[in-house]
Each structure stands twice: as structure tokens, then as C-alpha cells.
Amino acid sequence: MKTNKELVLFMLSAVKVEETKMDFLLSLSPSLVVAVVHAVTVQTPQVKVEAARDKNATLQCIFHTSATNRVPGDNVSWRKVPAMEDFAYKVIGSDLEYKGNYGDRMTFSGDLNQGNGSITFSELTMADNGTYECTVQLFEDPPPRSVLIDLLVLVIPSKPTCKIIGKAEYGQNINLTCHSDEGSPKPTYTWQRYDAQNQPQQLVGTPMEGGLLMLKNISADTTGYYICLSQNSVGHDNCNISLAVVPQSMNIALYAGIIGGVVAAIIIIAVLAYCCCCRSSKDKEYEPTETNDGFQPHHEPVEIRGPSEEEIQEEGEERHSPQMPPTWRPPSRSSEAVA
């Protein structure tokens, strides 16, 4: 903050000196005024500077003057067109300078005392693209003079994206699009067409600016393998897309097949539901019904009983006990009487 304040004081004092000098010059003859006003010149040996992204670039600003004395406040300033505010300036013969948001990424690389007001950018970005104006203000040689310099940051085109806009059906109009998100200078796009055997074919359609290929009234002849080349002075990249044009009847058959499948599924479900209902009704016919007097027989479960343990034991004893001969008994009296 202190440095900026000191710089402002320098500039204010320079303005006062400038007013005094101009009053003095106006008191002289017009020819002398013209000669002094056009004494300073500003030029650059390179009006267009190109550098790759993340690299460095120097914008040269060389000035010549017939004035031998330096007035406090003489300065070199830089601005980016069309911005109206300076983003950097430095007072000649002093360490006072201002570099705005650039910070250490921008330096005054020239010797202002030797008439060199050049600046150098480091780690270039796409945002650095543009036109810059260098202005030299010497109060001994008014008015200020400027020179314009173009800075072009070079960036290889990013891999483009290919898309089909529209329905690839006979008789339709569709567009093939191709676009790279990055690229400096601005990429140009070229379309190529190949067949299934990877043989080059004549390109059909109308190429438009910005990577657009218009295809009208497409047919089977439009089918192919399309490649889009995105390129600039730095490099290139490409994308590809397969285009298969089909008749509309194929889509109708597809829809008919889907509808037929849905109908068949509904019929199958209906048949299964009917069979289940019939089976349920038959089971109900075998269920006992109530009698006329309202009595419904009660069925008790039938218990099937096997032989008890005592019966099994007695049967075993009979098998193992020895059989005795039958005992003799005398005939009864009744039998004798009959005889």
C-alpha cells in the first residue's frame, strides 16, 4: 500500500510538471511545438507473438526520444484492449511499478532507462490471448505514444466429440456435429467418409462452419464410417462415428413385434388365471354339503391302533412254550346211557 501511495504522489507531481511544460511550449512558435510533440516514437519488432500454453512470452515495446532529461512521472503503461484501465505500469528511473492481478506471473523485462518497456508473461493461459497496448509517456516529449501487439497462446485442439442429430431413416434430414472444447488458434474441422472395408468414399452432404455436416434426404448410400478431423497450427485430433441408415418399415416391424409380445403375454396370463379358477371350483364339488334338515355330519378322525405291548408279549410266550398232549377224560354218563 505504501508503494502505491508513493506512486500516486509521483504521478500527481508529474501532472503539475506537464502543465508547466505545456504552458511554456504554447508561448513558443507553432513550428517549434510541432517539432517537440512528435519527437518520441514507440514501436515493436514483433506485432504478433505466438507461444504455447504454460510457456513464456515477451511483448516488446521499444521507444526513442530526443529528450535527454527524465522528468519524475515518466512511465510506461500496458493495457489489454479494449479495457480502459491499465493492468501494469512502471515509472522510468524508479522501482515503483504496478502489475495488477498478474503478480509474479508478469515482469518488466526491459530496461526503461534504455528505452525498453517490454514485459514478459510466464505460464501462459488461454485467458492471456488478446491485443495489448504499450504506451510511453515522457513529459519532455509529449504527447504519449502507443503501439499494439497481439498475443496468441497456442493450444492443441482437445479431442472432438461427434454426434448424430436426427433420425437415421430413409428420406430424413440429419446433421453430424463435431466440436473441440479447446484449441488456439480456433480449430478448423474436416469430414471424411469410409466404407465397411475402410476404403475412402466420396463425402456426401454439405460441410458447414464449426464442424457441422448437413445430410439431406438420406438413403442407403449415406451409410458409412465418418471421421472428423479437428486441427490448428499446433496439432490435431479426431473423432469417428458410424452411420447406418435404415428404412422406416424396420422400425414399424420392431414396434409391431413389441406389441405382439405384450399381447401374447396378456393371453398367457389370462389362460393361467382361467385354469386356476376351474381347478378351484372342482375342489369345492368334493366338499361335504349340509343335509336337508340342516345337519352336517361330523367326521371324526379314525385312529389306527396296532397290537399293544401285552398282546405282543403273550404271543411271544405262546411261541416259545412247549406244546403239551391233550389230557384224557372219561366219557360222560350220558354217552353210556345212549349206548
Contact call for residues 215 and 222 (beta carbons, < 8 A): yes
String of DSSP letters for 62-78: EEE-S--S--TT-EEEE
Nearest Cα to Cα of residue 64 among 38, 90, 41, 91: 41
The three-point CA angle 192-197-202 to 5° equals 35
Residues 6+ apart with CB under 8 A from 188: 230, 231, 232
Task: Give, for 239, the enclosing helix (H) or strand (E).
Answer: strand 236-243
Sequence length of the chain is: 339
Instruction: State residue 285's pLDDT score.
Output: 56
Instruction: State residue 315's pLDDT score.
Output: 60
Instruction: State residue 22's pLDDT score.
Output: 46
Instruction: State residue 320's pLDDT score.
Output: 52
SS3 (DSSP) at 330:
coil
How many whole angstroms separate alpha carbon 138 and alpha carbon 41? 11
SS3 (DSSP) at 86:
coil
Kindly report the pTM of this predicted structure. 0.58
CATH level 3 topology of 161-248 = Immunoglobulin-like (2.60.40)
How many whole angstroms separate alpha carbon 206 and alpha carbon 6? 63
Burial of 185 (0-12, 13-18, 19+ CB in 10 A): middle
Residues 6+ apart with CB under 8 A from 214: 173, 175, 205, 206, 207, 208
Strand partners, 78: 88, 134
How many whole angstroms separate alpha carbon 226 and alpha carbon 195? 9
Q: What is the DSSP letter of 152?
A: E
Instruction: State residue 7's pLDDT score.
Output: 47
Q: Are strands 145-154 and 48-52 parallel, antiparallel or unpaired?
A: parallel
113 Ramachandran zone, left/alpha/beta (phi>0; psi -120 to 50): alpha
Cell numbers describing residue 7:
506512486
CATH no., domain 2-153: 2.60.40.10
pLDDT tens for the chain, residues 1 to 339: 444 534 434 443 444 444 444 444 444 444 333 334 446 899 999 999 999 999 999 999 999 998 888 888 899 999 999 887 889 999 998 889 999 889 899 999 999 999 999 999 999 999 999 999 999 999 988 899 999 999 999 999 999 999 999 999 999 999 999 999 999 999 999 999 999 888 999 999 999 999 999 999 999 999 999 999 999 999 999 999 999 999 986 556 666 678 888 888 888 888 887 777 776 665 555 555 544 454 455 555 555 555 666 665 666 555 555 555 555 555 554 444 443
Amino acid 208 reads: M
Count Cβ neighbours within 10 Å for each residue of 203-219 and write b for 16 or more, e otherwise: ebbebeeebbbebeebe
Shared fold status for 2-153 and 161-248: yes
The three-point CA angle 167-169-175 to 5° equals 45
Contact call for residues 164 and 218 (beta carbons, < 8 A): no
Listed by start position, the domains of the chain span: 2-153, 161-248
- CA of 123: how far to CAs of 127, 128, 241, in Å? 11, 10, 36
